[in-house]
Structure 1
Amino acid sequence: MKKNIIKISLAALTVFVSLTSCERNLDQFSSINEPVDQAMSRPESFRQALDGAYTSFKGAGYYSGDNGSQIIMADVTSDNILRTASGRGSNFAASNFEFSSDNSQTTGLFNAGYLVISRANFVLEHLNNGVLSGAQKANIEAEARAIRAIAHFDLVRAYSKIPTQSTDAKTSIGIYYAEKYNPLNNTASRDLTVEQVYNKIIADLSFAADNITQNDIDNGRLSKAAIYGLLSRVYLYNGDYANTVKFGELALGLSPSITSLDNFTRIWKENEGITKINDGVLFQVLNAPAELVTVGAAYNQAVPKLRSEFVVDYDFYNAYTIADIRRSAYFTTDLYSGKMYNHITKYSGNGGPSNIVPIKYLRSAEVLLNTAEAYYKSGNSASALTLLNKLRKERYSSFTPGIETGQALLDAILKERRLELAFENDRWYTLKRLGLSVQRSGKGDLSNGTGVPAIVQTLAAGSTKWQWPIPVTAIQANPNIKQNDNY
């Protein structure tokens, strides 16, 4: 009789599970091979297996490398950035909305997301083997279900409609929600509606919120505050503004700092010294120099001068005033090959290996913006304005509280969202959930707005391209998976 063998390694394939014997950076591993039942007979193996699921967020299609990395895709496909004439051409097709089922730029997330889910489900598969009990068991289950929910959320917002996108969105086709460990499953189908998928995501996160007990020191593992914050995000996308407010306030109650003005630049320069600043970070994907996950390479490389693949749109760059701390934290204006560019250096680091920094998956500032928008849409403009002014106070060196009302207040909230969450996998999805079109400025790639503009300037709100294509390889492996329209 054959025995299932588990390989305790970060390099494990889908059919294996990564059991990292890690410290804080999740980058050390053992190469021991042993039967699954034997490996999972030790309590510490559950923690190691979960760390393997976290590590999967750094795989190709999620945050590794440049082509198709989620660190840039929501900006490539929207109006925040444009390709430079001096770049290598990475993500060029996606920037032109040339989405196809055989191009990894928009399909890579599909397999990467289900790998994360598979590893989380592996932990859940063995949870009732009698090794864990009580609060320890409940916490492990909470963490695994939250990881599973995160990946499903990223998949459903990319490959299906968002509930607030259109009147038919909730009843439209969703994704397969994998709740069992079955990495070679070739019978799954997209049999759930978008609404049903969101209900499952919320169920997993709600369980996690009720049962998670850990409070991770560097926010590389999920905490109760992070789970509350994730619920605020999911409920905002789902159009449930009462629950967006409820869980947003719970998250901010546990983690009230939205990153102080003094610390804001420092949270992006994680490799500048021994002491890490995580002020306002609720959950981040840890990234150690030894792993060589160069997340910032999607934007530029140091060769040794900055050579950018994409630069910030000129009009958007000028939306950041001189008094805005984000302007200097996110951008560097410098020459490359005799031409001046506004380079995006949010992930370049400072004093260590270039472009190797943790990925901020969720920050308190986003939770505040979720909550402010939900307050406004619930008719509570006063609370919305209070939260908005709280954010602006920590971003502008010269600050006078705003007094906006009505549409001007909503516009101000959405403006700050764009300024704050630029290059954090948000813009495409904000436009999508609001049912808006992409409208680019038409300005060129040079620092003064001249140069080469984007080839394609618009994408209509009703385009089927807002739902990315399912990879053809996934459909070939499992013909039950329905392709999205017009691919």
Structure 2
Amino acid sequence: MKKNIIKISLAALTVFVSLTSCDRNLDQFSSVNEPVDQAMTRPESFRQALDGAYTSMKEVGYYRSDAGNQLIMGDLTTDNLTRSAAGRNSNFAASNFEFSSDNAQTTGLFSPAYLAISRANFVLANINNGVLTGTAKSNTEAEARAIRAMVHFDLVRAYCKIPTQSSDAGASLGIYYADKYDPSNTSGSRDLTVTQVYEKIAADLLFAADNLTQTSNDKGRLTKAAVYGLLSRVYLYKGDYSKTIQYGELSLGASASVTSIGNFTGIWKSSSVDGVLFQVLNSPAEAVTVGVAYNQFIGGQYRSEYVADYDLFTSYATDDVRKSVYFTTAAYNGKTYNHITKYSSNGGPANVVPVKYLRSSEVALNVAEAAYKSGDMTKALTMLNNVRQQRHSSYVPGTETGAALLTAVYNERRLELAFENDRWYTLKRLGLPVQRSGKGDLSNGTGTVPIEQTLAASSYKWQWPIPINAIQANPKIQQNPNY
């Protein structure tokens, strides 16, 4: 067996580690190839390795291309989107709740997520080699552990039950938590419960929160404010509302703006990062078409794969800045649709924009929901109004109380986080079914109607299937029930 080879692509700032056998040729896809023990003698190699972990989130199945793209999966499986008859039928099976272990639409997240985790673990495997010391070392270790936790959370909410989903969720089958560098993953098994996986995620994030001091002007690296925001998300899913509030308020204390109404268009056109806590960077040079799963711009027209559900589209008030940012009502081949243009670029390559992974407005809504469920109606309404104030040009503060207040929080979450991979998981964690409107794909609600209209809250399909090729490579990985 040859020694481990580290491949460092200086242009893309990514690190790849490959175990190569004597009878296998070394793939040559980078500008520098050298042994790990040599490469990791330089401080900059640690930075490159961490950037490589982030880059994994732009692989097919995470945010690249269309099949299984996480920017759309959380919406096309719900009541937010309707399949367009003018599209190519991409992701049709998933939109019709036809999930299977050999279909990349629901299994595509699995491989690139564990690749990102492996790259973070590679950094951690070398963190004590003496090259980094002091603040540089503590920041690097904290960032690697935060990446590992963040990506494991994406996996556990997709492939496992969510703690608040049902009474048996906490003790149910968890995901494999990879906390050691093992790129081949031939020994990992799903031996943890959902509760135990969440505990590991929280432990990594809490370590990061205590040790991260770095800043990121482009929001392309995790910072303390972002980690606090991630903790608010994790604890909301876990049902620990006091900690959701605690870490949500810490995040908002470090990054208070929920994006001003004047900057809201800019954060989607790459001219502002106001209210962005963490984004997966993307540039015209990389040409990762993260928005292509929604539509393609052909001959001056949007050809959409999925368009806005009519009831959702009409839920946005006329003075709501999100309506013009998220949608474009326009014709394609003589028929008019409400196209999703949230990810259209600003003069650059079509659909090539950074992915807004976490924003302060989500954190504010996390706190609003948790405050309501903790009995603090004043805080809940204040947080809700903080978001609404920056979305409406003719703003009048809301005065909801009781059940109407919680409904308003849920409605605002749907409006704010539409097409950001939230809706499926909000319904899932609340134990609610998918109930589509029955409206068609045209801009006035007529046209082609989705075949499947409902998915029961009790369905096993809320837990996506583990990809069959992952089980074939490692039979210790247990498949989810009924697949």
Distance 2:107 2:386 in 1: 38
Which residue is equivalent to 1:63? 63
Aligned match of 2:18 in 15, 30, 34? 15
Query: Map of 1:416-431 to 2, 5 A cutoff?
Result: 416-431=412-427
Give 3-state SS (helix, strand or coil) of 1:302's partner.
strand
Query: Map of 1:214-225 to 2, 5 A cutoff?
Result: 214-225=214-225
Which residue is equivalent to 2:476? 480
Judge conservation of contact 2:259–2:274 (CA < 8 Å) in 1.
Answer: yes
Which residue is equivalent to 1:121? 121
Query: Map of 1:326-345 to 2, 5 A cutoff?
Result: 326-345=322-341
Give 3-state SS (helix, strand or coil) of 1:72's partner.
helix
Shift of 1:107: 0.2
Which residue is equivalent to 2:432? 436
Judge conservation of contact 2:7–2:17 (CA < 8 Å) in 1.
Answer: no
Answer yes or no: is 1:349 the counterpart of 2:335.
Answer: no
Which residue is equivalent to 2:98? 98
Distance 1:452 1:331 in 2: 19
The AA in structure 2 aligned to 1:345 is T
Distance 1:366 1:390 in 2: 11
Judge conservation of contact 1:14–1:118 (CA < 8 Å) in 2.
Answer: no
Query: Map of 1:310-321 to 2, 5 A cutoff?
Result: 310-321=306-317
Report Cα offsets for 1:261-299 as digits up to 9, x if no partner. 1110111011xxxxx310000000000111111011110
Shift of 1:350: 1.9
Give 3-state SS (helix, strand or coil) of 1:296's partner.
coil
Report Cα offsets for 1:371-413 as digits up to 9, x if no partner. 0000000000011001111111100111111110111000000
Distance 1:336 1:185 in 2: 46
Answer yes or no: is 1:407 the counterpart of 2:407.
Answer: no
Structure 1: 5+ residue runs without aligned partners? 17-28, 271-275
Judge conservation of contact 2:190–2:477 (CA < 8 Å) in 1.
Answer: yes
Distance 2:400 2:361 in 1: 20
Which residue is equivalent to 1:262? 262
Q: Do the aligned partners of residues 113 and 14 (structure 1) sit closer, same or farther apart at CA in structure 2, a change above 3 Å counting?
A: farther
Report Cα offsets for 1:20-67 as digits up to 9, x if no partner. xxxxxxxxx961111100000011111111011111110111000111
Which residue is equivalent to 2:447? 451
Judge conservation of contact 1:467–1:484 (CA < 8 Å) in 2.
Answer: yes
Which residue is equivalent to 2:24? none
Report Cα offsets for 1:68-126 as digits up to 9, x if no partner. 10010000111100111110011100000000000000001011110010000000000
Distance 2:291 2:193 in 1: 35
Aligned match of 2:294 in 290, 294, 299? 299
Which residue is equivalent to 2:188? 188
Which residue is equivalent to 1:156? 156
Instruction: Name the TM-score, length of structure 2 as normaliser.
Output: 0.96
The AA in structure 1 aligned to 2:315 is A
Structure 2: 5+ residue runs without aligned partners? 20-28
Shift of 1:13: 5.8
Judge conservation of contact 1:14–1:115 (CA < 8 Å) in 2.
Answer: no
Give 3-state SS (helix, strand or coil) of 1:291's partner.
coil
Give 3-state SS (helix, strand or coil) of 2:285's partner.
helix
Distance 1:232 1:4 in 2: 39
Judge conservation of contact 2:6–2:33 (CA < 8 Å) in 1.
Answer: yes
Judge conservation of contact 1:15–1:184 (CA < 8 Å) in 2.
Answer: no
Answer yes or no: is 1:86 the counterpart of 2:86.
Answer: yes
Give 3-state SS (helix, strand or coil) of 1:8's partner.
strand
The AA in structure 2 aligned to 1:383 is K
Report Cα offsets for 1:163-207 as digits up to 9, x if no partner. 000000000000100001111121211000000000000000000
Give 3-state SS (helix, strand or coil) of 1:171's partner.
coil
Judge conservation of contact 1:260–1:279 (CA < 8 Å) in 2.
Answer: yes
The AA in structure 1 aligned to 2:18 is V
Give 3-state SS (helix, strand or coil) of 1:284's partner.
strand
Answer yes or no: is 1:235 the counterpart of 2:235.
Answer: yes
Judge conservation of contact 2:8–2:16 (CA < 8 Å) in 1.
Answer: no
Distance 2:5 2:229 in 1: 37
Which residue is equivalent to 1:284? 279
Which residue is equivalent to 1:34? 34
The AA in structure 2 aligned to 1:368 is A
**Number of equivalenced pairs:** 471
Shift of 1:145: 0.3
Shift of 1:253: 0.4
Aligned residues with identical type, % of pairs: 70
Which residue is equivalent to 1:471? 467
Query: Map of 1:136-175 to 2, 5 A cutoff?
Result: 136-175=136-175
Judge conservation of contact 1:330–1:344 (CA < 8 Å) in 2.
Answer: yes
Distance 1:185 1:120 in 2: 14
Distance 1:93 1:376 in 2: 37
Shift of 1:467: 0.1
Report Cα offsets for 1:192-235 as digits up to 9, x if no partner. 00000000000000000000010111100011000000000000
Give 3-state SS (helix, strand or coil) of 2:71's partner.
coil
Give 3-state SS (helix, strand or coil) of 1:150's partner.
helix
The AA in structure 1 aligned to 2:387 is L
Distance 2:30 2:91 in 1: 35
Answer yes or no: is 1:388 the counterpart of 2:384.
Answer: yes
Answer yes or no: is 1:253 the counterpart of 2:253.
Answer: yes
Shift of 1:314: 0.4
Judge conservation of contact 2:4–2:18 (CA < 8 Å) in 1.
Answer: no
The AA in structure 1 aligned to 2:298 is V
Distance 1:92 1:437 in 2: 19
Higher mean alpha-carbon deviation, 150-159 vs 345-354, is at 345-354
The AA in structure 1 aligned to 2:292 is A
Instruction: Name the TM-score, length of structure 1 as normaliser.
Output: 0.95
Give 3-state SS (helix, strand or coil) of 1:71's partner.
helix
Distance 2:248 2:112 in 1: 28
Judge conservation of contact 2:307–2:340 (CA < 8 Å) in 1.
Answer: yes
Judge conservation of contact 2:5–2:17 (CA < 8 Å) in 1.
Answer: no
Judge conservation of contact 2:121–2:148 (CA < 8 Å) in 1.
Answer: yes
